[in-house]
Structure 1
């Protein structure tokens, strides 16, 4: 399972780093494969372990912010091994084939 999620503290100042730092720490220490960019964090793993990380990260933000918005997108593709990198590798392969 691969999920992409974003946590947005609501009702706080524009700079949210102080509000999400604890959540990022939880995600990084989860032991799961993760990748973050400026808008989303992706987490790869089994349903229960991934959703546990999302829950704990959300609770960490909620402990500091009066309201939290969670955006979650999941890709359930059992045949895909290593979806965090595998999906991109598959795309790159197809691009190379089209260019040839």
Structure 2
């Protein structure tokens, strides 16, 4: 399964890297396959282990901010091997030649 989530500390101003640093550390140390971008983080794994990481990351942000917004999206695809890379590879097979991923 894949979980895509975004944690936003509220009530701390416009920029908040110090408020999410502990959450990033928890995610990276989880040992699960992850990919982050400017908007969210995707974690691959079994339900309980992925949700445990999301919970601990959320609690880390909540320890530094008066309010936290969590946006979570899940993709449960039984039989899909390595969905973090597998879904992209499946899509790439259908993109016409000459169009590079950006």
TM-score w.r.t. the length of structure 2 is: 0.93
Residue segments in structure 1 that go unaligned for 5+ positions in a row: none
Which residue in the other structure is 1:8 paired with?
Answer: 8
In 1, Cα distance between equivalents of 2:48 and 2:54: 10
Cα shift at 1:96: 3.6
Q: Which runs of structure 1 show a deviation greater than 4 angstroms over 4 or more consecutive aligned residues?
A: none
Distance 2:76 2:94 in 1: 21
Matched, 1:76 2:73: no
Query: Which 5+ residue runs of structure 2 have no aligned equivalent?
Result: none
- In structure 2, distance between residues paired with 1:30 and 1:96: 36
TM-superposition CA deviations, 1:52-75 (whole Å, max 9, x none): 000000000000000000000000
Residue 95 of structure 2 corresponds to 95
Higher helix proportion: 1
Structure 1 residue 35: Cα displacement? 0.4
Q: How many equivalent residue pairs?
A: 98
Mapped to 2, the partners of 1:78 and 1:32 lie a distance apart of: 18
> Equivalent residue for 1:19?
19
